[in-house]
Chain A
Amino acid sequence: MHRKGFVRKFKVLEILTEDQIEEIHKATLDVLWETGIRIEHEGALKVLEKNDCRVNYQDNRVYFPPRLVEECLRNCPGQFQLTARDPKDSLWVGDNRTYFGAAPGMTTVDLKTMESRVPTRKEMYDAVTVLDALETVDYIMQYTPYFGFEGVPPAMAMIETLAAKLRNSTKFTAEGYSNDCEIFTIQMFQAVGADMFISCLPSPPLTYHRGSIEACLRAVEAGFAIKVGGGGIYGGTAPATIAGATVSNNAELIAPIVLFQLIKPGTRIIVYNFNYPQNMRNGAPAFGAIESSLHTAIFNQTWRRYGLPTWDDSGEFSSSKGIDFQLGYEKSMNTLLPALCGGNGISVHGAIFGELTYHPFQAILDDDIVGMIGRFLQGVEVNTETLATDVIKAVGPIPGHFLNREHTQRWWKAEQFLPKAADRLTYPEWMAKGKKSALDYAEERMREILETHRVSLPLTPSQEEDIERIIREAKEFYTQKGLI
């Protein structure tokens, strides 16, 4: 049993030729063998050295032979299940299926002033409830909806956020790493019988710090999946050219995949695309830039060649500070394009400005964006019934019409996506109903969800006890480390 997501019913959008993809592949192998990847983890270096990599222990550089790279990529499963704590919410990742999910924000945003602030505990739990209720939210990313909440020390942010997600949602959730927090988050997932994937984040260019590798080795050991990738900024931490950024990014992704496949062959890997051009005015990533989608297109095409499922984050972020026109067009374009290019997971719901702000109203508006894109992915069915020649014949020219036909009744809801927050009133209706916008409807929907929605499978008392105990142990751990 797994969530349906959306299955793309037509040919994937590809923008490079086979020869160009081959050139990118060869360039990637060349970087892995000639330039190598810096991995600051002695245990990892030893495993890689034992398996024919050249290792320079002076600068922690590993050089990967092409044969080993190709073999390890072949060992990665192309499709697999990610089990949620309620089986109905499990994911089946790979092939033509696209899931959409919630994206992070460090803080919440005050919609009157458009200024951000740390959310309260209630706002965190309410935001999770909204995500649990939204039909197009298939998963909830790490650091999502918020990076912790008021009164939570930074070291406990990820752990407390995960507790909120497990308590108020049954949807699949992913985790990150920070200061060994995975020791505790892994226990929490085990306590509730849920799968997860942990992020293996490079520090581009071509570097992995110890924390990232150590966290993932713990997760691999415990049998969890790994989401590898992210972070290259074209012109800053990656080449300014999109093709070059793809080469350095792919080389960064392949290095830990080789490591994990050597340690535990068949480990479930998702490759993750989090790449933006650099804003050459202030050094920040240019969130919302269309070049992200160009990169995503190539990213998906190259990784389809390798047979691994992809996760795309180019659509989640915008440079807009509020819920406005810019946010709408940046998010829509950069969510639609990865979907057409075959992304298996696309994070979108809720994020407003970069990774800095999140708002549940936006998650509700994004539910509509994703619904529209999902409808597009389902394509157009062509058969005797849908060609409708019988009904066309029966209706004939005016004064005939189709509203009174059984065919219409049977088909219109399957063919039309009905947005929940968009304003589709006629002008007089709009005037009469108080000139409401999509934002007003999103707010109304949020209130309604918070009043009516309850998580389908609450934690059992013993699971709740385990979560409380793990949180206590984490607090003791960080107090001893001087981080609380």
Chain B
Amino acid sequence: MSTNLLDDLQKAIVTYAAEDASMLATRIVKEGIDPLRALDTMTLAIRQVGDGFNKGKLWLPDLIRASEAFQAALPKLMEELRRSGKERKSSGVVVIGTVFGDIHNIGKDMVATLLMADGFVVHDLGVNVTAERFIEAVREHRADLLAMSALLSISAPEQKKVIADLKNTGLRNTARVMVGGGAITQEFADSIGADGYAATAPLATALARTLLNQR
């Protein structure tokens, strides 16, 4: 029974069935299946989609819809994990968002999904995220990595502000910072004191690993 539910959960993610994924998560918790096993299953499923995307076999709608199915199942399982007092092993904890003044989410969503596929625990704060919310989330989730996106040249300076606030609140040494988005260049990233910049979502995943391995 439990194997079937986990298989079904994997299938729900790779067929982008968010409602099924949410329902299966509820049933998995009800049946007393270890939430860590369910989370591993989900990571495998999203990795399968991420690999398909990186190989050019799957496309952006596949990636985004698989991510939504993943996110639909996540809260129930995380709640159960907290209740059971267990800890999830991961490649690292990431807080990600598009900075204040900018509502572009596609690039950020791609990075978030590929990071999840790569075994990171990702806390996606969405778009138009203020410096204050980034700082709160880094503290709350004890993030290893803060990833910020900005598509507009007008919103890009907000990344500098967040990094300054991280310093002011004493969190700069606890989390590495990577930046990206249409308005960002390596020179800009260097000038604002970010630890890294990546031009594409697959490069961002590789960068995340490099940055966390450097610690």
Contacts and interface: CB of A to CB of B under 8 A. Distances in A.
Contacts of B106: 236, 283
B184 to A, nearest CB: 13
B55 to A, nearest CB: 12
Given A154-B153, A154-B154, A236-B106, A282 B61 contact: no
A235 B110 contact: no
B107 interface: yes
Contacts of B56: 281
A283 B59 contact: no
Nearest to A354: B182
A31 B153 CA distance: 32
Contacts of B153: 106, 147, 154, 157
B154 A278 contact: no
Contacts of B61: 235, 280
Contacts of B103: 203, 209
A209 B104 CA distance: 13
A280 B110 contact: no
B154 A283 contact: no
B40 to A, nearest CB: 29
Scoring B60, B61, B107 by chain A CB atoms within 10 A of each residue's CB, the highest score goes to B60
A178 interface: yes
A456 interface: no
A285 B88 CA distance: 38
Contacts of B210: none
Interface string A173-204: 00000110000000000000000000000010
B100 to A, nearest CB: 13
B154 A282 contact: no
Nearest to A233: B106
A179 B56 CA distance: 39
B200 interface: yes
Scoring A203, A209, A282 by chain B CB atoms within 10 A of each residue's CB, the highest score goes to A282
Contacts of B110: 282-283
Nearest to A235: B61
A279 B59 CA distance: 9
A178 B153 CA distance: 11
Contacts of A282: 60, 110, 200-201
Contacts of B60: 278-283
Interface string A361-397: 0000000000000000000000000000000000000
A235 B59 CA distance: 12
Interface in A270-310: 278-283
A89 B154 CA distance: 32
Contact of B59 (A106, A155, A203, A280): A280
Contacts of A280: 59-61
A175 to B, nearest CB: 15
Interface in A60-77: none
A178 B107 contact: no
Nearest to A284: B182
Scoring A147, A154, A209, A278 by chain B CB atoms within 10 A of each residue's CB, the highest score goes to A154
A59 to B, nearest CB: 15
A143 to B, nearest CB: 11
Nearest to A106: B153
A178 B59 contact: no
B153 to A, nearest CB: 5
Contact of B154 (A179, A235, A236): A179
A162 to B, nearest CB: 17
Nearest to B128: A209
A206 to B, nearest CB: 13
Interface string B132-158: 000000000000000000000110110
A147 B153 CA distance: 10
Contacts of B201: 282
A164 to B, nearest CB: 18
B200 to A, nearest CB: 7
Interface string A86-122: 0000000000000000000010000000000000000
Interface string A206-235: 000100000000000000000000000001
A271 B56 CA distance: 37
Interface in B146-174: 153-154, 156-157
Interface in A128-179: 147, 154-155, 157, 178-179
Interface in B196-211: 200-201
Contacts of B154: 154-155, 178-179
Contacts of B59: 280-281
Contacts of A279: 60
A209 B154 CA distance: 15
Nearest to B62: A280
Contacts of B156: 154
Leading 9 A-B pairs by shortest Cβ distance:
A283-B106, A280-B59, A280-B60, A154-B153, A283-B107, A178-B154, A283-B60, A154-B154, A283-B110
Interface of B: 56, 59-61, 103, 106-107, 110, 153-154, 156-157, 200-201
23 contacts: A106-B153, A147-B153, A154-B153, A154-B154, A154-B156, A154-B157, A157-B153, A178-B154, A179-B154, A209-B103, A278-B60, A279-B60, A280-B60, A280-B61, A281-B56, A281-B59, A281-B60, A282-B110, A282-B200, A282-B201, A283-B60, A283-B107, A283-B110
Given A106-B153, A281-B60, 19 more contacts: A147-B153, A154-B154, A154-B157, A155-B154, A178-B154, A179-B154, A209-B103, A235-B61, A236-B106, A278-B60, A279-B60, A280-B60, A281-B59, A282-B110, A282-B200, A282-B201, A283-B60, A283-B106, A283-B110
